[in-house]
Amino acid sequence: MTTDEITALIGDKNAALLSHTCETVTKDLLHLPSPDFIDKVLSQSNRSNQTLRSLASVYKHGRLSGTGYLSILPVDQGVEHSAGASFAPNPIYFDPENIIRLAIEGGCNAVASTIGGLAMLSRKYAHQIPFIVKLNHNELLTYPNKFDQVIFGSVREAWNMGAAAIGATIYFGSEESDRQIKEVSQLFEEAHSLGMATVLWCYLRNRVFKRADADYHVSADLTGQANYLGVTIQADIIKQKLPANNGGYKMLNSESMSYGKWDERMYTELTTANPIDLCRYQVLNCFMGRAGLINSGGASAGETDLKEAVLTAIINKRAGGTGLISGRKAFQRPFTEGIALLNAIQDVYLDEAITVA
239: annotated active-site residue: yes
- CA atoms of 300 and 332, how far apart (whole Å): 7
Phi and psi angles of residue 26, each rounded to the nearest 5 degrees, phi first: -75, 160
Tell me, what amino acid is at 56? A
Around Cβ 288, how many Cβ atoms within 10 Å?
A: 15
**Omega of the bond leading into 144 within 30 degrees of 0 (cis):** yes
- CA atoms of 82 and 88, how far apart (whole Å): 10
Q: Whose CA is closest to 128, among 101, 106, 166?
A: 101
Question: From the candidates 40, 182, 239, 261, which is the catalytic residue?
Answer: 239
Active site residue ranges: 239
